């Protein structure tokens, strides 16, 4: 076909992965469209299982600024980090084309750093989502055969304070699946960095492995672009 076998297979793997993520995001859209939306003014919004929450009201916390309402700021920072690590990855690929081992090492390290930073941010975001806000939401729950109303902080897979249960479940599944991809990407990036440092690619005579893992890393960035829009913005 005129393209190398490894690159071709990476592309086909990414294609199948794109189907998986499309499945998750489209199902999110389907389930969301079945729930009533919040109809009042945005300022008057409160959490309730009766309607789908406005995302910017859920994700408005920033580390070290407890109580500050900064909608989507932290997610914006995470998006920026991931885009930057994508840039350092292409720079590593460019250096690989020139057989510049030192430059590949440098840019791979920056990419790994970006990936770890993103994962740390996500860990904080998950913790905040699970622990919840200062004030609880009253949620009806089915306990021992009867309905009880109780105060709920945060979220898990069974009950949550933000809205319909599907909202929290989708949050865990979609960002979790993406986060797992980032985690695998960091491992692969480290492997490439290790092989670069030990001179494996220099002896092999080409740095195509950087390119292949780079494709995966950009795909992770690509998926985040969609998750950011459909989960956080819309």
Q: Which residues bind another protein (CB under 8 A)?
A: 1-3, 7-8, 11, 15, 18-19, 22-23, 26-27, 29-30, 33-37, 42, 50, 54, 56, 71-72, 76, 79-80, 83-84, 86-87, 89-91, 94-95, 97-101, 103, 199, 202-203, 205, 211, 214-215, 218-219, 221-222, 225-226, 229, 233-234
Q: How far apart are CA 7 and CA 1, in angstroms?
A: 11
Shorter beta-carbon distance to another protein: residue 171 or 216: 216
Shorter beta-carbon distance to another protein: residue 7 or 150: 7
Shorter beta-carbon distance to another protein: residue 50 or 127: 50
Phi/psi-derived region of residue 65, left when phi > 0, alpha when psi is between -120 and 50, beta in every other case: beta
Phi/psi-derived region of residue 45, left when phi > 0, alpha when psi is between -120 and 50, beta in every other case: beta
189 touches 108 (CB < 8 A): yes
Spell out the alpha helix ranges (H) of the chain.
5-34, 55-58, 73-97, 101-131, 165-197, 200-204, 208-227
DSSP state of 35: S
CB of 149 to another protein, least distance (A): 14
CB of 131 to another protein, least distance (A): 25
Shorter beta-carbon distance to another protein: residue 35 or 130: 35
CB of 72 to another protein, least distance (A): 6
CB of 127 to another protein, least distance (A): 24
- Please enumerate in sequence order all residues whose Cβ is within 8 A of that of 203, keeping only pairs 6 or more positions apart, or say none: none
CB of 193 to another protein, least distance (A): 18
List, as one string, the DSSP characters of 140-178.
EEEETTEEEEEEE-SB-SS-BSSSSHHHHHHHHHHHHHH
Shorter beta-carbon distance to another protein: residue 29 or 176: 29
Q: How far apart are CA 67 and CA 172, in angstroms?
A: 23
Residue 66 tokens read as 């407890």
CB of 20 to another protein, least distance (A): 11
Shorter beta-carbon distance to another protein: residue 11 or 65: 11
Shorter beta-carbon distance to another protein: residue 113 or 130: 113
From the CB of residue 88, how many other CB atoms can be counted at a distance below 10 Å?
18
CB of 153 to another protein, least distance (A): 23
């Amino acid at each position: 076909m005129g393209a190398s076998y490894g690159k071709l297979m990476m592309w086909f793997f990414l294609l199948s992965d794109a189907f998986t993520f499309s499945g998750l995001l489209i199902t999110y859209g389907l389930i969301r469209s079945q729930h009533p939306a919040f109809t009042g003014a945005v300022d008057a919004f409160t959490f309730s299982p009766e309607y789908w929450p406005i995302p910017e009201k859920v994700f408005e916390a920033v580390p070290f600024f407890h109580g500050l309402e900064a909608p989507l700021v932290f997610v914006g920072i995470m998006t920026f980090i991931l885009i930057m690590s994508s840039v350092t990855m292409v720079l590593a690929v460019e250096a690989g084309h020139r057989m510049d081992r030192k430059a590949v090492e440098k840019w791979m390290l920056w990419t790994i750093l970006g990936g770890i930073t993103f994962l740390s941010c996500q860990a904080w975001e998950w913790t905040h989502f699970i622990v919840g806000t200062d004030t609880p939401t009253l949620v009806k729950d089915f306990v021992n055969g009867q309905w009880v109303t109780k105060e709920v902080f945060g979220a898990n897979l069974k009950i949550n304070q933000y809205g319909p249960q599907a909202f929290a479940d989708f949050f865990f599944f979609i960002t979790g699946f993406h986060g797992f991809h980032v985690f695998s990407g960091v491992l692969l990036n480290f492997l490439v960095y290790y092989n670069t440092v030990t001179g494996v690619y220099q002896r092999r005579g080409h740095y195509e492995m950087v390119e292949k893992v780079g494709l995966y890393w950009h795909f992770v960035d690509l998926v985040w672009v969609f998750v950011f829009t459909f989960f956080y913005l819309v």
